[in-house]
A and B are shown apart, each in its own frame.
Chain A
Amino acid sequence: MTLEIAAFWAFAVVLAGAGLAVVLSKNLFHSVLWLALALVSTAGVFLTLDAEFLAAVQVLLYAGGVVTVVVFAIVVTERLVGERLSHTSRRVAAGAIVSAALLVFLVRAVSSARIDMPKPALTADLTRQIGMSLLTRFALPFELLAVLLLVGLLAASYFARPEE
């Protein structure tokens, strides 16, 4: 139990710190690498919630796929213009005020709601349950997701086609 709490706090601190580094870093490339750290620590948070399958998907798809694609896009665009991408921020004070206000609102809403129930004991293998409901109750959304990925693939290759 104490190990779980320590792991949660470690992952939470790394996640919040890496998130801040993503939005504050002056270098776009560093931002992407901090995002990779944030996504991996989110996988750690999923592990403390006994969602091993989701943690693996998070690392493979998000940290592996998304970060690779973003780095690839940065390299391609920097070669297109032949200079480094500028990565500055504007209206930092206004943005900080709005996000801090939203944070205060959300934290007050969370703390005033009486939801602090204990974590129920696991009755069955969660990965097995996810697989079962994915192919029974959620079979239609699952197939639609396949169509969406295909359309996204086609659209991305259409957008990025060579110039005529």
Chain B
Amino acid sequence: MGLSAYLTLAAVVFCIGLFGTMTRRNTVGILLGIELMLNAVNINFVAFSRFSGTEIGMVFTLFAICITVAEVALGLAIVILLFRTRRSATADHIDWLRG
């Protein structure tokens, strides 16, 4: 398969994730959309790395995967904290900072 096939697949997955992030009300649902988008970026990294013949993009993907895992753990900790204080996981209800 050519490089553009991988880039197109990543673009499709990224746009699906963007759609989920924009339309979901639930904070966990939004996190799942962000996961899909990060995943698409990782596909791009690995594809460019393989087609350019260096391993640097794959090293970067390894870093990206680890950071994503930390991000998910923190995001879910915040979701649980929100649940304790607001009894809700809907992103629209999180408006403490509204002036």
Interface of B is mostly: helix
Annotate B8-27 by CB proximity to A: 1 below 8 A, 0 otherwise.
11011111111110111110
Report whether B22 and A107 are in contact in the complex, using a CB–CB cutoff of 8 Å.
Answer: no
Annotate B61-89 by CB proximity to A: 1 below 8 A, 0 otherwise.
11101111111111011111101100101
Write out the residue numbers on chain B whose beta carbons fall within 8 Å of the beta carbon of A70. Answer: 28, 31-32, 72, 76
Report whether B69 and A65 are in contact in the complex, using a CB–CB cutoff of 8 Å.
Answer: yes
Residue B94 at the chain A interface, CB threshold 8 Å:
no
Query: Which chain B residues have a beta carbon within 8 Å of chain A's beta carbons?
Result: 1-9, 11-20, 22-26, 28-29, 31-33, 35-36, 39, 42-43, 46-47, 49-53, 55-56, 58-59, 61-63, 65-74, 76-81, 83-84, 87, 89-90
Q: How large is the interface on A (under 10, 10 to 19, 20 to 34, 35 or more residues)?
A: 35 or more
A144 (CB) vs chain B CBs: closest residue:
B63
Report whether A45 and B61 are in contact in the complex, using a CB–CB cutoff of 8 Å.
Answer: no
Write out the residue numbers on chain B whose beta carbons fall within 8 Å of the beta carbon of A85. Answer: 26, 28, 89
Report whether A48 and B1 are in contact in the complex, using a CB–CB cutoff of 8 Å.
Answer: yes
